[in-house]
Amino acid sequence: MATVSRPRRAVRVSVRLFGKDAPASGLPLRAVQMRRPESRSPHTTVFVTNAAIDDLSAEQVASLYLTRWPQQEQSFRDGRNGGGLNRSFGYGREQVTHVALVEKQARADRGVARAEEALRKTIDKRDRLAAELAQASAATRKAVQELANSAVKRAEQQLAARRTKTAELRTHPVLIQQRDVGRDSIMTCLKVTMLALTEYVLKEYFGGLRAEWRTFIESLVALSVTVRTTPSRRLYRIHPNPRQPALMAHLAEALDEINRREIRQGERLLVFELAEGGGGGP
């Protein structure tokens, strides 16, 4: 249940939700009304949020909501294109019968048999009509013959389509590798973790750089690195790619941010720097 109070000018809308998991006094929320006057069919959209107005203005609430869908779609594209989430690694060496394919092949065979029977009946009907109308006028015989021939042609086309589909199904292997759900789950967790780390690095060290995961992996992770270790520090010298100067500039800023935090591995200070020139790049 919700109670809504609207000021006279309808500038602000407050909503208080009551329910099983809500506080006894209700859950206070703020609503933002948005209207697009340039739209051909102007209508009001209401967004409800628990963010205070000092944290998110009305414009920011609407903007964040409207960008949610494009961002989700981009995440799906990145997951397929950069993270390989559209591929399964959960297949073992054991082979099993592709039960669904066998059933499809059986249904296709039955469909061919029905189409063959339909064609036979259509041809018999055409021949019977020709015999029954032997004494009819030439015009009548011609009209009936054309209709009967059209019916036979359609039956032949349907039979040909059924046979083509059946032949295509016969090209698929009946024996397939059995899916290992456990292995696939482990690989999916590893990939999602890697993508989450990528997002974290882009936000934490690259200042929220909007880069696709594939770009980050192929253009940055794949760069050659020279490692030099001393008792007090470990130096990672990254060889830049001169063909991507803008991205290398972002990388240099990210390395400065990493060094500023003075990250250590045991007693050693980890230092990152961008080597001069483009030697060693991908």
25: phi then psi, degrees, rounded to nearest 5? -85, 0
Pair (190, 150) in one structural domain: no
> pLDDT value at position 110?
95
Going from the C-alpha of 237 to that of each of 215, 226, 227, 275, 280, the distances in angstroms are 21, 5, 6, 6, 11
> pLDDT value at position 10?
38
Considering the domain boundaries, does residue 31 fall inside one?
Answer: yes
Considering the domain boundaries, does residue 279 fall inside one?
Answer: no
- All residues at 6 or more sequence positions from 116 whose CB lies less than 8 Å from its CB, including other chains: 159
Pair (55, 99) in one structural domain: no
> pLDDT value at position 62?
84
Considering the domain boundaries, does residue 221 fall inside one?
Answer: yes
Pair (212, 260) in one structural domain: yes
Pair (254, 266) in one structural domain: yes
> pLDDT value at position 228?
95
> pLDDT value at position 46?
84
User: Cβ(30)–Cβ(49) under 8 Å?
Assistant: yes
Pair (225, 193) in one structural domain: yes
Q: Which of 122, 146, 178 is the last residue of a domain?
A: 178
Considering the domain boundaries, does residue 88 fall inside one?
Answer: no
Task: Tell me the three-class secondary structure of the chain, residue by residue.
Answer: CEEEECCCCCCCEEEEECCCCCCCCCEEEEEEEEECCCCCCCCEEEEEECCCCCCCCHHHHHHHHHCHHHHHHHHHHHHHHCCCCCCCCCEEEEEEECHHHHHHHHHHHHHHHHHHHHHHHHHHHHHHHHHHCCCCCHHHHHHHHHHHHHHHHHHHHHHHHHHHHHHHHHCCCCEEEEECHHHHHHHHHHHHHHHHHHHHHHHHCCCCCCCCHHHHHHHHHCCCEEEEECCCEEEEEECCCCCCHHHHHHHHHHHHHHHHCCCEECCEEEEEEECCCCCCCC
Domain count, the chain: 3
Pair (210, 132) in one structural domain: no
User: Cβ(58)–Cβ(147) under 8 Å?
Assistant: no
How far apart, in whole angstroms, are the C-alpha atoms of residue 281 and residue 224?
A: 6
User: Cβ(248)–Cβ(211) under 8 Å?
Assistant: no
Among 61, 53, 54, residue whose Cα is nearest residue 33: 61
> pLDDT value at position 67?
84
Per-residue pLDDT of the chain (282 residues; tens, 9 = 90+): 444 444 333 346 777 888 888 888 888 888 888 877 777 777 788 888 888 888 888 888 888 888 887 777 777 777 777 777 777 766 666 788 888 899 999 999 999 999 999 999 999 999 998 888 888 888 888 898 899 999 999 999 999 999 999 999 999 988 887 777 777 888 888 888 888 888 899 999 998 888 888 888 888 988 999 999 999 999 999 999 999 999 999 999 999 999 999 999 999 999 999 998 644 444
Domain hosting 26: range is 2-66
Q: pTM for the complete prediction?
A: 0.47
Instruction: Give burial (CB, 10 Å; 0-12/13-18/19+) of 3.
Output: exposed
Considering the domain boundaries, does residue 164 fall inside one?
Answer: yes
> pLDDT value at position 109?
95
Q: Which of 148, 178, 208 is the last residue of a domain?
A: 178
Pair (99, 60) in one structural domain: no
Pair (150, 118) in one structural domain: yes
> pLDDT value at position 91?
65
Considering the domain boundaries, does residue 60 fall inside one?
Answer: yes
Pair (152, 188) in one structural domain: no
Q: Which of 49, 66, 83 is the last residue of a domain?
A: 66
Considering the domain boundaries, does residue 135 fall inside one?
Answer: yes
Considering the domain boundaries, does residue 78 fall inside one?
Answer: no
Pair (186, 263) in one structural domain: yes
Pair (243, 268) in one structural domain: yes
Pair (186, 124) in one structural domain: no
> pLDDT value at position 55?
85
